[in-house]
Chains A and B, each alone.
Chain A
Amino acid sequence: MSDRPDISDDDALAAEYVLSLLDPQERQAFEQRLTAEPDLRAAVSFWKAEFSTLAEELPEASPPAALRARVLDSVAPSAPQRRWGWGWFAFPSLLTAALVAFFFVLPTLRGPGFDPTLHASLASEDGTLVIEAGYSPTGSLFKVIREAGGAAPGRDLELWVIGPDAEAPVSLGVIPADMETTFEISPEIAALIDGGVLAVSDEPEGGSPTGAPTGDILATGAFFDV
């Protein structure tokens, strides 16, 4: 199509993709290629950046004040369950299901009522993912604080406890999008924590389909006394 060999048809295809000009089949085929082809992803990024500058010159228009209230209210803490994404029951592992008693506890964090005796700090090698966790025997509460980073697009992060004598990691579930989260754990899981290790793995959306980590282990950290 082009007599300029340095500019490929893929560039035009990537532009068509960003312009939303591909029909559904073409779009799907293109998105499949995207996952495997970094050059194509770079071409898409290029066009997104270029075309978005066209929109930057559009005239601004103030939305109605009521919309602001609606938008801000919809992320208000009065609706804590909206984003509750723990995938406990996504795991076929009977062991996990049997061990874990899960209760949604108030999302009040760093507040009174949480007095951890054991901590774990997880940081990925490149430092982009940082997770702090604590266990409080009072009420058997386990708290997870995602300090930095998150799952890759279309992926989830899953937490695992590996007991001192354990043969296999036990899932604590998928880390929700929330920054902090507190939940109750069963005595069986609590017993793994002292002397155990906390790990986080990269998993398909919804968590590991097998009940054991399937993706990369991104970070691990031993529990230590506070």
Chain B
Amino acid sequence: MADPKHIEDLIARIALGDREAFAMLYDATSAKLFGVCLRVLKNRGEAEDSLQDAYMRIWNKADRYAVTGHSPMTWLITLTRNIAIDRLRARRAAEVDLDQVGEIAEPEPGPEAKTIAQSEARRIKACLDELPKDRSGAVRAAYLDGAQYKDLALHYNVPLNTMRTWLRRSLIALKECLSR
């Protein structure tokens, strides 16, 4: 992954309509963002369409990036995930079958574990690890797989309201850990 400052500069140039910067951003980030789309949608065709939509939104919204105050990868990932989730939810009877997803795997950290983002990732991983395994799995499934409460309740075989209470408690514990 390219250095965040470089990505930020590219976004600033894209905001001015610089197509060359747009191509460079695509080359630097598309594999990461495609990984996000594939994880959410688990369907190559839909992931490709979502990725294209994501870059269109990046092109059109680059001038708004600065006011979000986010790091460039947070902005890009959030925007891409939201598009993929919208597509997922638009499927008829959208249900994420977590049993088909299989084990909600912990990905291996990449070799470039040096940036601040990486250390933040380690922090949230460490905090998730403090939660009971099924609770942290539910948080990951919601973010990475777009699981909804009904999917989670089905997967963990608990009533919907129980699932929500669980998860909210987990989120509060997570917040407490991250704020330490």
Q: Residues of A with Cβ closer than 8 Å to B?
A: 1-2, 4, 7, 9, 11-12, 15-16, 18-21, 45-46, 48-64, 67-68, 70-72, 74-77, 83, 128, 146, 149-153, 177-180
Q: Does B46 contact A (CB under 8 A)?
A: no
A53 to B116, CA, bound (A): 10
Interface residues, chain B, with chain A CB atoms under 8 Å away? 1, 15-17, 19, 22-23, 26-27, 30-32, 34-36, 38-39, 48, 51-52, 55-56, 59-60, 63-64, 66-71, 73-74, 77-78, 81-82, 85, 89, 107, 109-110, 117-118, 120-121, 123-125, 139-140, 142-144, 146, 148-149, 165, 167-169, 171-172, 174-176, 178-179
Contact B121 A7 (CB under 8 A): no
Of the A-B pairs whose beta carbons lie under 8 Å apart in the complex, a sample of 26, sorted by A's number, is A1-B165, A12-B172, A19-B139, A20-B82, A21-B142, A21-B148, A49-B71, A50-B124, A51-B143, A52-B78, A53-B117, A54-B121, A55-B35, A55-B36, A56-B1, A57-B107, A57-B109, A57-B110, A58-B144, A60-B31, A61-B34, A61-B38, A62-B30, A71-B56, A146-B63, A180-B17
Task: Assess the A48–B78 pair: CB atoms within 8 A.
Answer: yes
Q: Is the CB of A67 within 8 A of B77?
A: no
Whether A2 contacts B172 by the Cβ 8 Å rule is: yes
Closest 5 CB pairs of A and B: A150-B63, A53-B121, A60-B31, A179-B17, A19-B142
Q: With A and B bound together, what is the CA distance between A103 and B66 in angstroms? A: 32
Given contacts A1-B168, A72-B23, 19 further A-B contacts (CB under 8 A): A4-B176, A11-B171, A11-B172, A12-B172, A20-B89, A48-B78, A53-B120, A55-B39, A55-B81, A58-B144, A60-B34, A61-B31, A61-B38, A62-B31, A63-B31, A71-B56, A150-B15, A151-B64, A153-B67
In the complex the two chains form, what is the Cα distance from A58 to B167 in whole Å?
Answer: 22
Using CB atoms, name the residue of chain A closest to B54.
A71
Least Cβ distance of A149 to chain B in Å?
7
A15 to B169, CA, bound (A): 11
Q: How far is the CA of A76 from the CA of B165 in the complex (A)?
A: 49
A180 to B18 CA separation, bound complex (whole angstroms): 11
**Which of A16, A63, A152 has the most CB atoms of chain B within a 10 A radius of its CB?**
A63
**Which chain B residue lies CB-closest to A109?**
B17
Per the bound structure, the CA–CA distance linking A61 and B48 in Å amounts to 11
Q: How far is the CB of B113 from chain A (nearest CB, A)?
A: 9
What is the minimal beta-carbon distance from B178 to any residue of chain A, in angstroms?
A: 6
In whole angstroms, what is the CA distance A151 to B64 when docked? Answer: 7
Q: Which of A4, A56, A75, A179 is close to B172, meaning CB atoms less than 8 Å apart?
A: A4
B130 to chain A, nearest CB (A): 14
Known: A64-B48, A67-B52, A150-B63. A76 touches B19 (CB 8 A): yes
**Given the known A-B contacts A61-B35, A152-B67, are A49 and B51 also in contact in the complex, defined by CB atoms under 8 Å?**
no
Residue of B nearest to A107 (CB): B17
Is A59 a contact of B35 with CB atoms below 8 Å? Answer: yes
Q: Which of the residues A53, A68, A128, A151 comes within 8 Å of B124, measured between beta carbons? A: A53
Given A1-B172, A55-B77, A74-B56, verify A49-B67 contact (CB < 8 Å). no
Question: Taking A2-B172, A71-B52 as contacts, is the C-beta distance between A56 and B17 under 8 angstroms?
Answer: no
The answer for the CA separation of A112 and B175 in the assembled complex, in Å, is 58
